């Protein structure tokens, strides 16, 4: 899960990209970067850290031009290393290009080995660099043809922004696993971004989503864009985790408001509830909408009884278990005055490794809660998601290795309840298919 943004035909494109990346910081906190094109030269600045730490006015002023792409990184392929920051820049036979990628290529190792055998030299561990090499080594005459040839080789989940000196190519994989939307800026330019919350910050108007299997070409000086459908129509499968956890609540993903979906998940949990409790308490921040929905449906009082330190990042997307354990303690603090002697229902968005759940139960009981009942607004995560989530092996997934009773014992909670897969689909909207690979192990991309 990463954030990508493209800006074209807009003054100070890099500054607009900066604000968009700031709005999408939740999608990746390891590194950030922006490439901008000016006078047919591409300049890139990228580094490890948060958007606000990497860029200042001096740097943004140096990234001149009315075309730019940007990226916030959360590692799914590669490592937490400065050389793996994006966008990736290259100068090849047809000129300069820069690429920003959100997703994960499932055949990256095979492609990489084939390219190395042909003499390719790699400078990073990222799967995105494979795409650069495939484009550069193609014999096709035009960049568009080279991109299409590369897309016919790669497999997996991807949203791509490929910037030449005068164009941006916006591409979404044939299943539309990761989101990508188009907006219109006030000055007439376009913004392409992973989430619509970026549009709100920069004052853009939503135009439409990039369709699964579509390439859209934006050109400098053009008021319109060109659409090319690259593949035969497939059943779209947006990743359900975008609604459960990844996306910001104020984003609209494939026509559905994330906040309302999360409330629906909580309401669905409440319909199953048989526990008599005094309070409904969310795990902030991602558990708040589901807890609100649970409270509204059940009639049990809602309390923000866990305070979050907002200067600490999201625990799930931290790359090591040791860092996740420490950050749970730094990040969350329960209010004993509210909790003492109370039976509480704790609503969280999901259980992945169990790190947060175990620590939260410990913290709540230490704060004086009489009973702690865990309600999880997602099904049991039993399978690695190879389409852009950092769960590479089953050994990291608690529901893949322990029964519900064993998880209950491990966390120290008094009861535990998950949503079932059909309940999840109904809550999001059963009119379409979703990527549910974390829950059902259906690896549909071959």
Q: What are the tens digits of pLDDT across the range 117-154? A: 999 899 888 999 999 999 999 999 999 999 999 999 99
Q: 230 and 101 in one domain?
A: yes
58: Cα within 13 Å, side-chain hemisphere: 2
What is the per-residue pLDDT across 307-319, written as a single tens digit (0 to 9) for each? Answer: 988 776 655 556 6
Report the C-alpha dihedral over residues 130, 133, 135, 139, rounded to 10 degrees. Answer: -130
The answer to whether residue 98 scores a pLDDT higher than 90 is yes
Query: Does any domain span residue 391?
Result: yes
State the pLDDT at residue 78.
47
Looking at the fold, whether 332 and 183 belong to one and the same domain comes out as no
For 217, phi then psi, to 5°, come to: -110, 120
Q: Which of 2, 159, 197, 239 is catalytic?
A: 2
The answer to whether residue 407 sits within a structural domain is yes
The residue that leads in pLDDT, 326 or 281, is 281
Among the residues of 336-420, which ranges form H helices?
336-339, 355-366, 398-401, 404-411
Average pLDDT, the chain: 94
Q: How many domains does the chain have?
A: 2
> Domain containing 348: what range?
257-440
Q: What is the pLDDT, as a whole number, of residue 125?
A: 87
Instruction: Report residue 367's pLDDT band, with 50, 70 and 90 as the boundaries.
Output: very high
Percent of the chain with pLDDT over 70: 94
What global pTM score does this model have?
A: 0.93
Residue 166, classified by CB atoms within 10 Å of its CB into exposed (0-12), middle (13-18) or buried (19+), is: middle
Q: What is the mean pLDDT of residues 416-420?
A: 98
pLDDT (tens digit, 9 = 90+) per residue, 70-90? 999 987 544 556 788 999 999
Considering the domain architecture, whether residues 215 and 269 belong to the same structural domain is answered as: no
How many CA atoms are closer than 13 Å to the CA of 214, on its beta-carbon side? 19
Together in a domain, 190 and 308: no
Indicate whether 199 and 270 sit together in one domain. no
286 marked as part of a ligand binding site = yes
Predicted local confidence at residue 232, as pLDDT: 81
Phi, psi of 52 (to 5 degrees): -65, -25
* Residue 385 is assigned to a ligand binding site: no
* Average pLDDT over every residue of 58-81: 85
User: What's the count of helices (H) and strands (E) in the chain, helices before strands?
Assistant: 17, 24
Identify the pLDDT of residue 74. Answer: 86
Rounded to whole angstroms, how far apart are CA atoms 444 and 434?
11
**Kind and range of the H or E run holding 201:** helix 197-202
For this structure, is 239 an active site residue?
no
Claim to verify: residue 157 and residue 283 sit in the same structural domain:
no
Does the pLDDT value for residue 382 go beyond 50? yes
Three-state secondary-structure class, residue 409: helix
Dist CA 397 CA 152 (whole Å): 32
Contact 353/327 with Cβ under 8 angstroms?
A: no
For residue 240, the model assigns a pLDDT of 97
Distance, in Å, from the CA atom of 227 to the CA atom of 217, rounded to the nearest integer, reads 6
The whole-number average pLDDT for the span 38-67 is 97
Flag whether 349 is marked binding: yes
Q: In the predicted model, what is the mean pLDDT of residues 188-214? A: 98
Q: Is the pLDDT of residue 175 over 80?
A: yes
Residue 32 domain-assigned?
yes
pLDDT of residue 322 exceeding 60: yes
CA-nearest of 44, 35, 100, 42 to 72 is 100
Distance between CA atoms of 73 and 379, rounded to whole angstroms?
Answer: 27
Question: DSSP secondary structure string, 226-270?
Answer: EEEE-S-----EEEHHIIIIIS-TT-EETTEEHHHHHHHHHHHHH
> Whole-angstrom Cα distance, residue 446 to residue 433?
17
| Cα separation, 394 vs 271, whole angstroms | 31
pLDDT attached to residue 83: 83
> Do 247 and 179 meet the contact criterion of CB atoms below 8 Å apart?
yes
Domain end (from 234, 265, 297): 234
Is 414 part of any domain? yes
* Helix H or strand E segment including 6: strand 3-8
- 261 in the same domain as 229: no
Q: What is the CATH number of the domain that holds 15?
A: 3.60.20.10
CA distances from 286 to 201, 221, 277, 349, 407 (A): 20, 41, 22, 6, 21
The lowest-confidence range among 106-115, 154-163, 201-210, 226-235 is 226-235
Q: Are residues 318 and 420 in the same domain?
A: yes
Mean pLDDT for the stretch of residues 6-26: 98
**Bond preceding residue 252 cis, omega within 30 of 0:** no
Same domain, 342 and 217: no
d(CA 160, CA 169): 8
Query: Is residue 240 one of the residues assigned to a domain?
Result: no
376: domain CATH number is 3.40.50.2020
């Amino acid at each position: 899960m990463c954030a990508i943004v493209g800006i074209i035909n807009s003054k100070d494109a890099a500054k607009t990209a900066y604000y968009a990346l700031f709005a999408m910081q939740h999608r990746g906190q390891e590194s950030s970067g922006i490439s901008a094109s000016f006078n047919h030269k591409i300049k890139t600045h990228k580094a490890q850290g948060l958007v606000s730490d990497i860029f200042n006015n001096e740097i943004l002023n140096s990234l001149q031009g009315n075309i730019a792409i940007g990226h916030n990184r959360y590692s799914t392929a590669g490592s937490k290393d400065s050389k793996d920051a994006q966008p990736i820049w290259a100068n090849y036979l047809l000129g300069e290009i820069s690429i920003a990628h959100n997703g994960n290529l499932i055949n990256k190792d095979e492609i990489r080995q084939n390219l190395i055998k042909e003499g390719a030299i790699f400078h990073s561990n990222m799967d995105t660099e494979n795409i650069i090499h495939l484009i550069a080594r193609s014999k096709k005459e035009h960049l568009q043809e080279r991109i299409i040839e590369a897309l016919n080789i790669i497999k997996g989940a991807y949203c791509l922004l490929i910037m030449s000196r005068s164009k941006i190519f916006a591409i979404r994989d044939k299943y539309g696993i990761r989101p990508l939307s188009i907006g219109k800026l006030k000055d007439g330019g376009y913004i392409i971004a992973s989430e619509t919350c970026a549009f709100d910050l920069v004052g853009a108007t939503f135009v439409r989503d990039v369709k699964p299997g579509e390439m859209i070409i934006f050109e400098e000086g053009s008021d319109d864009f060109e659409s090319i459908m690259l593949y035969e129509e497939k059943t779209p499968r947006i990743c359900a985790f975008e609604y459960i956890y990844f996306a910001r609540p104020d984003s609209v993903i494939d026509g559905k408001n994330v906040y309302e979906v999360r409330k629906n998940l909580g309401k669905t949990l409440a319909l199953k509830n048989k526990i008599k409790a005094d309070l409904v308490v969310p795990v902030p921040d991602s558990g708040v909408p589901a807890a609100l929905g649970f409270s509204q449906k059940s009639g049990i009082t809602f309390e923000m009884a866990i305070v979050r330190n907002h200067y600490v990042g999201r625990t799930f997307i931290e790359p090591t278990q040791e860092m996740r354990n420490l950050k749970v303690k730094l990040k969350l603090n329960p209010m004993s005055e509210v909790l003492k002697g109370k039976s509480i229902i704790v609503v969280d968005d999901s259980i992945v490794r169990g790190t947060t759940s175990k620590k939260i139960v410990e913290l709540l009981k230490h704060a004086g809660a009489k009973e702690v009942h865990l309600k999880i607004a997602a099904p049991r995560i039993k399978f690695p998601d190879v389409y852009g989530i950092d769960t590479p092996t089953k050994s990291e997934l608690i529901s893949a290795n322990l029964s519900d009773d064993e998880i209950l014992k491990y966390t120290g909670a008094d009861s535990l309840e998950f949503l079932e897969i059909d309940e999840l689909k109904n809550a999001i909207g059963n009119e379409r298919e979703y990527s549910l690979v974390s829950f059902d192990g259906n690896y549909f991309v071959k």
